[in-house]
């Protein structure tokens, strides 16, 4: 994985090649780079403008519905164009900015020469996948151009066009990496291997009698997919690679199905909540909101045994209700508390372990991106998910705080003095305005006052008022940079969702749901075994797929089976979200684990050892939630009057 010292200012991890100087110099090379930088800048400006316009459309829709009792019927069509633009153009820019995280725990064990060869091979695979999907997306544009949208009468081709542009840009940026970061002699071995594999795949696709049965093709696809991830291919491109591979070796459907399903993955209006909540979270983070919440948590639990570790748990619980992104939570809280933890004598690995465990715990705290994504692919009430997730997270948070107390007492860590009344009042006043936002969001969505998209747009507006007007913590220039960062992060997330949608369709075409049901049936049709299998499956797959794709792919497959066992869908949703959260932060694969180490400036091996008791507590908490539905359903039943 990434070196723990390579955390960038924006919280993303840099790869080993990110800081590597360009090898190509000269007037032509510099001119090409300048042109690409210009394209990058123009696209960033376009994405920010689109983000602001879309926010304006949703806010106008809120005003129109509340004050004039009229809805903007064309807002859905505008949203599809915006989501397509953000997912594919933003995803391409995120690729150039190296926001697409990768699993490198395997390649990190290789020599620098071999690591470079694998990095080249992965960039070549990205180039090939981007070119192939871009090519078939042109056919999709041609088909879409024969019809218009119902209300705005926009030619449907305009909605699909960002897919082709984004993948074209991705191919261009992949060529840039290959041309500017490596010498020709470094490129040759990896290029030869990739060319051979591509040739074999192409031959299999063009000769009908070479097409393989579905089961065999599925096996080849899954092997290629998992191997690519373990060798450093970003999960979104690995999923596209898997989809292309399956269709080429099986002949089940033409390759245009990959483009069609990738585009369809961005078509759900609820996905607008993702860029808005990411934007709101960044505004609140840059506006000093995290610091105010840390101070508030310090006055509440700072005097307990393991005081600062307890502060980490409580602060993550509160911050999660604002940012929605667990990686953002880790960066925000870890950056604020790192030096104080060191000053008070806590080991870096202690802080990193608690940070990772707390973020895993908080996956069910609204407005969790996992909940929003799950609600976009399954018939579940997001409002009910929001209120149902509070108590399961609280149960695990209490277990983590109890573990902190026991470990700190055993290590004879000193306790800090209890906060004075004046300190408590001051910290409470400072935290009141930030804490209003998650309360408004949960109440607004649960009681049908506003849709999740409307609430997320109000969250952005509220964050802007707090950070820019009330606290005056950010200026105009900072607001633009925040909007750019939000666009890139949203592009990365939406591109992952789009690729996962295509990959999920491919798994369905390969009859995986039927095979999965048969495996579960052969295991005895036992509800307990099913729940335990779900937890193990989501932890493993969640660690490999960065979390969200695991929900998109497995959620629709597993939920009908859970219903067949009589398991409440809201309860089951909490189980799979928590298990996925543990997977994201589990060593040695989980992306979140490495982010926690990087933020805390701790060594991977030491943090892995420190994580063991926290992993045991996380698993215990997930099992308690899984086998005691009351913790999930009590609050929804209380509010609904059941």
Place of tokens 């997270």: 393
How far CA 357 is from CA of 214, 217, 253, 353, 495, in Å, comes to: 40, 38, 43, 6, 27
Per residue in 612-628, pLDDT (tens digit) is 999 999 999 999 999 99
- Residue 601 has phi, psi (to 5 degrees) of 55, 45
When the pLDDT of each residue in the chain is averaged and rounded to a whole number, the result is: 83
**DSSP sequence for 174-223:** HHHHHHHHS-HHHHHHHHHHHHHHHHHHHHHHH-GGGPPPHHHHHHHHHH
Q: Which residues contact 191 (CB under 8 A, 6 or more apart)?
A: 120, 124
Question: Does residue 538 or residue 164 have the better pLDDT?
Answer: 164
Tokens of 247: 């269709």
Rounded to 5°, the CA angle 125-127-131 comes to 120
Per residue in 311-349, pLDDT (tens digit) is 888 888 887 766 556 666 777 677 777 777 877 778 888
Tokens of 571: 């309860």
pLDDT value at residue 288: 73
Which region holds residue 288: left if phi is over 0, alpha if psi is between -120 and 50, else beta? Answer: left
Contact 313/400 with Cβ under 8 angstroms?
yes
Q: Which residues contact 223 (CB under 8 A, 6 or more apart)?
A: none
Mean pLDDT of 460-473: 85
pTM of the prediction?
0.82
pLDDT value at residue 168: 96
Per residue in 504-516, pLDDT (tens digit) is 888 888 887 677 7
Mean pLDDT of 365-370: 80
pLDDT value at residue 70: 78
Per residue in 348-364, pLDDT (tens digit) is 888 889 988 998 888 88
pLDDT value at residue 176: 92
pLDDT at 374 over 80: yes
pLDDT band at 448 (very low <50, low <70, confident <90, very high): low
How far CA 105 is from CA of 88, 227, 310, 587, in Å, comes to: 28, 13, 30, 10
């Amino acid at each position: 994985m990434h070196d723990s010292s390579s955390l960038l200012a924006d919280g993303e991890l840099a790869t080993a090649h990110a800081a590597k100087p360009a090898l190509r110099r000269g007037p032509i090379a510099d001119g090409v780079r300048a042109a690409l930088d210009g394209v990058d800048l123009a696209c960033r400006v376009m994405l920010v403008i689109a983000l602001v316009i879309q926010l304006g459309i949703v806010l106008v829709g809120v005003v129109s519905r509340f004050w004039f009792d009229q809805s903007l019927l064309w807002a859905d069509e505008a949203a599809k164009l915006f989501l397509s633009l953000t997912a594919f153009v933003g995803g391409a820019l995120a690729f150039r900015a190296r926001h697409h995280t990768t699993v490198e725990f395997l390649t990190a064990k290789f020599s620098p020469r071999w690591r470079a060869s694998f990095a080249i091979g992965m960039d070549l695979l990205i180039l090939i996948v981007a070119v192939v999907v871009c090519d078939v997306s042109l056919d999709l544009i041609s088909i879409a151009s024969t019809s218009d949208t119902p209300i705005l009468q926009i030619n449907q081709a305009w909605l699909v066009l960002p897919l082709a542009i984004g993948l074209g840009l991705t191919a261009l940026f992949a060529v840039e990496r290959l041309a500017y970061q490596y010498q020709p002699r470094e490129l040759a071995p990896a290029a030869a291997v990739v060319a051979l594999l591509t040739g074999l795949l192409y031959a299999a696709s063009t000769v009908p009698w070479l097409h393989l049965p579905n089961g065999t093709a599925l096996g080849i696809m899954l092997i290629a997919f998992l191997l690519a991830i373990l060798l450093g291919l970003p999960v979104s491109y690995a999923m596209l690679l898997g989809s292309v591979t399956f269709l080429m070796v099986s002949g089940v459907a033409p390759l245009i199905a990959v483009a069609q399903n990738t585009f369809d993955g961005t078509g759900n209006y609820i996905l607008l909540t993702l860029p808005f909540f990411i934007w709101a979270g960044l505004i609140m983070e840059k506006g000093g909101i995290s610091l105010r919440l840390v101070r508030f948590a310090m006055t509440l639990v700072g005097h307990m045994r393991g005081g600062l570790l307890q502060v980490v748990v409580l602060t993550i619980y509160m911050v999660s209700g604002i940012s929605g992104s667990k990686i953002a939570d880790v960066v925000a809280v870890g950056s604020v508390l790192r030096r104080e933890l060191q000053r008070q004598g806590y080991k870096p690995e202690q802080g990193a372990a608690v940070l990772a465990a707390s973020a895993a715990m908080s996956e069910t705290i609204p407005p969790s991106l996992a909940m929003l994504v799950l609600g976009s692919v399954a018939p579940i009430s997001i409002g009910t998910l929001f209120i149902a997730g509070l108590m399961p997270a609280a149960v695990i948070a209490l277990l983590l705080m109890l573990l902190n107390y026991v470990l700190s007492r055993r290590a004879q860590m000193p306790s800090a003095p209890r906060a004075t009344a004046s300190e408590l009042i001051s910290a409470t006043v400072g935290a009141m305005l930030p804490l209003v936002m998650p309360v408004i969001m949960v109440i607004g969505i649960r009681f049908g006052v506003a849709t999740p998209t409307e609430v997320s747009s109000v969250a952005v507006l509220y964050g802007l008022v707090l950070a820019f007007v009330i606290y005056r913590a950010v200026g105009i220039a900072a607001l633009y940079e925040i909007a750019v960062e939000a666009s890139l992060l949203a592009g990365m997330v939406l591109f992952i969702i789009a690729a996962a949608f295509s990959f999920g369709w491919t798994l369905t075409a390969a009859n995986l749901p039927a095979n999965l049901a048969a495996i579960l049936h052969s295991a005895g049709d036992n509800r307990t075994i099913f729940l335990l299998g779900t937890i193990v499956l989501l932890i493993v797959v969640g660690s490999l797929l960065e979390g969200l794709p695991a929900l998109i792919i497995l959620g629709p497959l597993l939920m009908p089976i859970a219903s067949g066992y009589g398991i409440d869908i809201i309860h089951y949703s909490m189980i799979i979200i928590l298990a996925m959260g543990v997977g994201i932060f589990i060593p040695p694969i989980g992306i979140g684990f490495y982010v926690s180490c990087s933020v805390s400036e701790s060594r991977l091996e030491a943090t892995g050892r420190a994580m063991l008791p926290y992993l045991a507590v996380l698993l215990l908490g997930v099992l308690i939630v899984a086998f005691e539905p009351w913790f999930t359903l009590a609050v929804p039943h209380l509010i609904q009057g059941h």
